[in-house]
Amino acid sequence: MTDDHHQEAQQAEALAAIAQADTLEGLQAVKTKYVGKSGLVTKELGALGKLPPEERKARGAQINAVRQAIDVALTEREVTLKRAALDARLASEAIDVTLPGLPLPAGGLHPINRVYEDLTRIYERLGYAVIEGPEVEDEHHNFEALNVPWYHPARDLQDTFWLEDGRLLRTHTSPMQIRYMVDHEPALKIVVRGKVYRYEATDATHEAMFHQLEGLVVGDGISMADLKGTIAEMARGLYGPSAKVRFQPSYYPFTEPGADFAVWWENPRGESKWLELGGCGMVHPNVFKAVDDLREAEGKPRVYEGKTGFAFGLGPERIAMLKYGIPDIRYFYANDPRVLGQFRGELG
Ligand code: DAH
């Protein structure tokens, strides 16, 4: 075999081995065999020195050409094998993006809090401060200061949970009228949010624990017209610009005169009726006097006698039952996710 043929054959053999190598390890073996430290081609290059000088140059060029061809083929094959290995890995580790995800339980606002949010937004727009207060009260704030003396039949209307220490669970949010006025001077506009408690048998419309929104406005020259305008504004905020409001005389010891208010309710099925929403009235002078007495006992000036104001109280349960078509008040607090889960997602 001439040297030329030998070189050609060796190159062809090496290139075929490279093409056949189907793993990186196999390819490495081919590389070692031909161009490794003691590979066939490397050895031949090393043997060049033994050739007569006149042959050396031509042979050197030949062998180097072979070496180069082998190097190029090795590099290309290596790239191909690496890409194939990567493709195989990607395919085996592929994520099926069409698989349904794992469900994440999402929270939502309780329907009562939704109604509170609606009401709060309306009253904040009108400049009211939104406050809360203690659920454990004393008799004085819950009854006496609100012009409900111990012998008054109104105490029976609001059957009370008494605590062993003589205190009670507040039966309404009205005691916060007293607390707020003792701490602040007029003029003021507040709404109070919170839970109240009545010792009652429960049924579809009565619970032993429920919620109220209490309003109080005190200043100079506040009139019944202001009260009516405020309640009408609330009704429009809840039920739209054409909402109608009705006031009927009623009795609350802490108001004079007192009234009940109702809105004309039209449900999506086209039924309509007056819906009693709550009680209201002008703050009774005895309430202002009780506040000034408490203030005086704390060394604060008497600033309420002679002032005028109105107050109102309503139950968000009633509003939520109609708004969401919930037929039984007990559903709100039974914590059944089949009921409450329907209020997920939509906020406000
Ligand atoms: N506190 C009353 C109740 O629980 C509701 C109420 C009526 C509050 C008239 C008021 C009011 O502020 O003026 O039944």
Predicted confidence (pLDDT) per residue in 38-61, tens digit: 988 888 888 888 888 888 888 888
State residue 158's pLDDT score: 61
Number of H helices, E strands in the chain: 12, 9
State residue 135's pLDDT score: 98
For residue range 69-88, list pLDDT tens digits in order: 999 999 999 999 999 989 98
Ligand 1 pocket, 283 CB below 6 A? no
Give the number of the atom of ligand 1 that is nearest the alpha carbon of residue 216: 12
Give the number of the atom of ligand 1 that is nearest the alpha carbon of residue 171: 4
Q: What are 37's two structure tokens?
A: 């430290």
User: Which of 280, 291, 310 is the pocket-test mutation for ligand 1 (most atoms within 8 Å of CB)?
Assistant: 280
Q: Please state whether beta strands 188-197 and 129-131 pair in parallel, antiparallel, or not at all (unpaired).
A: parallel
DSSP 230-268: HHHHHHHHHH-TT--EEEEEE--TTEEEEEEEEEEEE-T
Give the number of the atom of ligand 1 that is nearest the alpha carbon of residue 146: 1
State residue 347's pLDDT score: 47
Ligand 1 pocket, 214 CB below 6 A? yes
User: Cβ–Cβ contacts within 10 Å for residue 167, how many?
Assistant: 16
The closest residue, in CA terms, to atom 5 on ligand 1 is 313
The closest residue, in CA terms, to atom 12 on ligand 1 is 312
Ligand 1 pocket, 281 CB below 6 A? yes
| C-alpha span between 70 and 24 (Å, rounded) | 16
State residue 252's pLDDT score: 94
Tell me the CA–centroid distance for residue 171 and ligand 1, in Å: 10
**Residue (of 214, 178, 184) closest to 293 by Cα position:** 178
Q: Terminal CA-to-CA distance of the chain, rounded, Å?
A: 93
User: Which of 174, 178, 200, 230 is the pocket-test mutation for ligand 1 (most atoms within 8 Å of CB)?
Assistant: 174
Sequence-distant contacts of 83-89: CB under 8 A, at least 24 apart: 85/24
CA distances from 144 to 108, 190, 292, 301 (A): 40, 21, 14, 21
The closest residue, in CA terms, to atom 4 on ligand 1 is 172
- Is-contact 292 310, C-beta < 8 A? no
Ligand 1 pocket, 231 CB below 6 A? no
Ligand 1 pocket, 255 CB below 6 A? yes
State residue 197's pLDDT score: 96
Ligand 1 pocket, 279 CB below 6 A? yes
State residue 180's pLDDT score: 98
Tell me the CA–centroid distance for residue 103 and ligand 1, in Å: 45
Under-70 pLDDT residues of the chain: 1-3, 154, 156-158, 345-348
User: Which of 216, 252, 261 is the pocket-test mutation for ligand 1 (most atoms within 8 Å of CB)?
Assistant: 252
